Amino acid sequence: MSKEREQFAGNLDYWEQAAASHGTTAGDTYYDLDRVIAGGTLMTEYEEAALALATGAPADAPLSKLAGLDVLHLQSHIGVDGVVMARAGARVTCADFSPTALGRALDLAAKVGVEIDVVECDARALPESLYGRFDVVYVTIGALCWIDDHALWMQQVSLALRPGGRLVMLEMHPLFNMLESRVPDLIVDLPYSGGGFVTMTGEGTYSDPASTINSTTTCYAYSIGEVVTGAVRAGLVVDRLEEHTSLAFNPRGDATAQVGDDGRYRILLGRGTRPEDAPQPLPMVFTFVATKQ
């Protein structure tokens, strides 16, 4: 087996296990599916704001303009946000390489009382049946680090969009991805850009670190510059690039980000030896919205 196929197989095995587990264990702090079934959402304010920008919706009703739009939820995992967008009236297709994840997405949609389509595929090689079909390609936290060719990935996004369609993405900041742990200080151990990769073996997942899932996964580095350049070369015009230094939840489930008195998570760096020299927050995630010409 080639190195690339071995890495792909390891990643798929992890996501198959994660898809079967997420939202089902007592230790899962991430996937509150009962909340979604009851009419809520797991989107942060950043995803909602990006969708409002992309669709022209008001800030106080960010999903209100999704009705009647065709949305591709790319690398959808168990489809939580896709189901929420379908409930808002969008025609949603969830695309993922994990058949277990897509099965969970269909099950969640049935419980919510909406219909979605699902497509099992590699995000680097979308089937032609998805070309030119979508008003929005939606991507959220934890997608790009699994892609070894980000320019190719962005070309697939462009192929899926109609002219005038938009990529709406909230993604982990590459600086956050460089930070492996805090023991007790921040450890910078991973590459920033250029497709450099790290293969890791361990237990648990980001939503339930104590789970018994065992995996060997490979993640790839991307820079903000590579994201923007890839989008431009794929025929997209950048509408917004915004970096955020806090989140309402802990996206990795480890101790790298610390929770503050306001309940928000931040990556703090600095000596803080004097009151006026408090540690400063680093970027955790970024919003990226771009339009196909």
Decide if 190 is inside a domain. Answer: yes
Tens of pLDDT along 90-112?
Answer: 999 999 999 999 999 999 999 99
Angle 224-233/150-160 helices, nearest 10 degrees? Answer: 40
**pLDDT at 53 exceeding the cut of 70:** yes
Domain that holds residue 225: 3-252+285-292
Decide if 62 is inside a domain. Answer: yes
Decide if 38 is inside a domain. Answer: yes
Decide if 132 is inside a domain. Answer: yes
pLDDT of 272 reads 66
Decide if 203 is inside a domain. Answer: yes
pLDDT of 181 reads 76
Give the SS3 label for residue 146.
helix
DSSP 8-state assignment for residue 247: B
**pLDDT at 182 exceeding the cut of 80:** no
Q: Give the total number of structural domains in the chain.
A: 1
**pLDDT at 42 exceeding the cut of 90:** yes
Predicted structure pTM score: 0.94
Tens of pLDDT along 224-269?
Answer: 999 999 999 999 999 999 999 999 999 888 888 999 999 999 998 8
Q: Residue 240 sits in a domain of what CATH number?
A: 3.40.50.150
Decide if 137 is inside a domain. Answer: yes
Decide if 94 is inside a domain. Answer: yes
pLDDT of 1 reads 66
pLDDT of 211 reads 85
Q: What's the one-letter identity of residue 80?
A: V
Q: What's the one-letter identity of residue 91?
A: R
Decide if 32 is inside a domain. Answer: yes
DSSP 8-state assignment for residue 266: E
Model confidence at 209, pLDDT cuts 50, 70, 90, reads confident
